Chain A
Amino acid sequence: MTKRITRRSFLRASAGSAALASAGVVGFADWQAERAHADEAADAAQATGETKRVSTLCNGCTNECGLWVNVKDGVIHTLEGNPESPNSGGRMCGRGHGFAQMTYSADRLLHPMKRMENGDFEPISWDQAYLEIASKLTAIIAKNGPQAFAFIRDPRPNINFYGPRFTAALGSSNIYTHGASCNLSLQSAYRATIGGGFSADIANAKMIMFIGRSYADGITPANVKALANLSTGTECHIVIVDPRFNNSGHLADQWVPIKPGTDLAFVLAMSNVLIEDELYDKDFVDKYVLGFNAFKKEVAQFSPEWASDICGIEAEIIRELAYEMAAAAPAAVIEPSWRAAFGCAHQNSFMTGRAVAAFNALLGNYGQKGGALITSSPALGALPADKFPSPPLVDTPRVGNAEYPLAVPGMGTNLAALKAMIAGDIKAVFFYQSNAAKGYANPKVWEEGLDKCDLVVDIDVQMSETAMLADYVLPECSYLERLEAVYTQGGKKHTVSLRDKAIDIVHPDTRPLDQIMRELSAVIGVGKYFDFTIDELVEAQLNSIGLTTEELREKGIIDLGTSDFEYGKVPAFATPSGKIEFYSVTVGKAGLSPIITWQDRKAHPAEGEFYFVGGKQSVQSHTMTTSIEALMNISKEYKLERLWVNASDAEALGIKEDDTVEISSSEYTDTIRVHVTERIMPGVVWAPTHYGGSSPYLTQGYDFGICVPNFQPFDMEPGTGATMSQEFTVSIKKVGA
């Protein structure tokens, strides 16, 4: 059975849903009119003019920024950052403002949808959806065992509670996040090396180095502000190591262009300088590092001259940077990064993460002002077992754990689940707010995997490309219409906050996740684990730490005061040895080099080919925001979909600004407009990773720009199972030339 939807059948389906959407505000223009009307009505005292302020958490990305939502006559009016929120710092980014408009998007899902025999989607009732999903799911589990089920999610407080619980209730351990296509490599590397993640103490750094990461492109508001403060108010030396002069470049003091996927060589060479020239923090290393001597021996071969050939940075610059970092230490740090250059990009990303953690150790900056901070997170207390019984622990290891043992357990590698789908071992899969088939790996492979499944269920607010491949699509209400489980955030301070319901449900046939889980589990027969409302859950969670919902709602965000962080205190390293592991037995057991060493990237451009780098833009969040009219209009007005090509390369190929080129990799060919710029290294092209939408239900982003994963061969990083999103090269030529 082919699962592709035709344009014709789409039009039929959307005509149906449009007719059903008559109630309520649908579409940005409608919403604006409604708000303008609310203003006028309020002015004329015709409406109640009722305004309220609701504290909630943004859902535009995983930052969980605290917001205040201003609601007028039951309609979202404006949003502002909550000053108590550690990530927002009282501000709000563009995609956050835009994502709130999802609530009123004309492209939202309004009813449960079922794919019919002919491939078309038709609205069905919730009862029918539950019954059919439950009967298929129980049949699959009865026949193949519970491990034939997997749940893949973009982590959010609600799904982080309900997803694992639901999976465990079914007896499966196959619960995954999107991590394999995000920051799985580096998080796993930091876990293996220093026992977990770290943050850079931006505000106090005297020298900070960003490798691939750009605060201005993948935005956390508080970080941008801190970087701007550093840039204009201090003597801090800010270095951007990136093939592209990204949008943070203007705030930096130095741009060091580097060949994509060779960051490891650069970091090893800087380590070489620190060690050979005895610039590293000997006391710190003696006390806290495991395997230093082996590492010293290993990096002796990685001189700046050696690295220069590989990464394209002059040896002298590498040496200078190492010296400057050492001089500024311990208030010097390589920023931990996120997806960027080594979150999941190359086969050496995990090793790069280890080298970064090790370099910071050589600076002795852990726990120091201006250095690398390891902080704790608050925990909620246990829930009353009578009301909230936990499903039994599942002992069976998650699919993928054996082959990819280095993956952070909280994430896992969903690509292992994909392979199991293709192999026929996983037969039922649920997705939550996760556009896996568009963003996690090559979409062709996802299509194949999902096609082989007997049951694919997607819970989302919109008909994403993944939803297009599902058998059942369950429409959730938007984040402004629902309460979610309690969110706790660690760091220098410990806070607790809520994603709360700001307005009533706009489309009456959409439901929040908690309700879907409760109702579906009851039909499946595991309802006892979900026999509570979200309000009851939140109250119980808060009670477990001595708070109440009412209290939290009033304050928005509460500082728990439980953080034990203090500057100057070297943190505990949660590695097997309790030390920073330059040599890791665990890594060795996984088949990788136990000592941190050089490992090349996999794909190298042949003559005339280019390295490809993909990246984020400030107004979009993965692919999920490309349905937002206001955001897409910015993307279109400012031509944000364009492929960046260096001016000298463009000249050689006869390409001018805004020309359309054909871009090809081993997997795919497409066309795209070009931005000719001096801001990218010759031999490298860059494109944003948000676009190329192919779901005709999502009218705003449909067929705008290229879908980067199309170009990416299916592959998985050894050890972690990350997607290796940039292990390919491309050739480009002017269309018509």
Chain B
Amino acid sequence: MVWGPLIAVYLFLAGAAAGAYLAESFISFKYPTDKKTRRWGRIIVPVLLGVGLLMLMIDAEAGFKNPLRFFGLVNNPASVMTIGVYIICMFMPISLVVAVLELFHKNVPRWLDIIGDIGAVCLAGYTGFLLGDSLGVPLWHNSILPALFLVSALTSGIAIVSLLGFLGDESEFEKMRALRPIHIVATILELILIALMLFIAVGKGAAGAASVEMILSGQYAVLFWLGLIGIGLVLPLALDVFTAGTANDHKAGALAVEASGHACVLVGGFLLRFIVVMAGVTMILF
């Protein structure tokens, strides 16, 4: 596939940034006093997105060599990439303003946060549409991908914000557990969407079937089953369900287990993009 790991990294970081913004927004709405988590959460969002965009620019060699050409990215409103640029043009400044306000301990106006939320949802969803609008790649060319990437962005965002909770005090980290039900539901939804995506792809002819074969039993099977399904989705889900029964366990060991669960989610978030990008097979016509 002509798009490779750099694109997967971008898709992951953009999604994670969007998800982190949403999760942080939820936390700051629910627990306005948890300053440390909020602070780091707000600052990390533009950083994640910025690094992602850098990946995208490095991958676009001709533009990287002639940076002025990037201004042309707004030219074609019919292109999902251009729409993505519009979304980023809206979301990035907001996230930056929010981060700067936070940095200087200023209050972020509620309306701005809400606009940012809208931007984040658009950003996460667009990464799915970006692949989904590729007529040439049956694995991607479906309506599941935007929903899948949105849900995955959310779980990654929750994981990031939860991990940032470590930077706060114990009480802040515990409060992150409020996100747990969202995470459980999102993870189950993600599993369903992945199954749906593969099911649809199989029905789309040889290339779709080849992609699915690569994922389920071919060169990406280990990454898929062990990495994405096992470590990235089922393990964190199991931990969530398991630790739900032992709420408010303060032991360091339990916290470490919980933290590793979040790290696993992030691994899964990246692997999802990586596998979907790498297993894309162009339409087989003959």
The answer on direct contact between A and B (beta carbons under 8 Å) is no
Residues on B facing A (Cβ under 8 Å): none
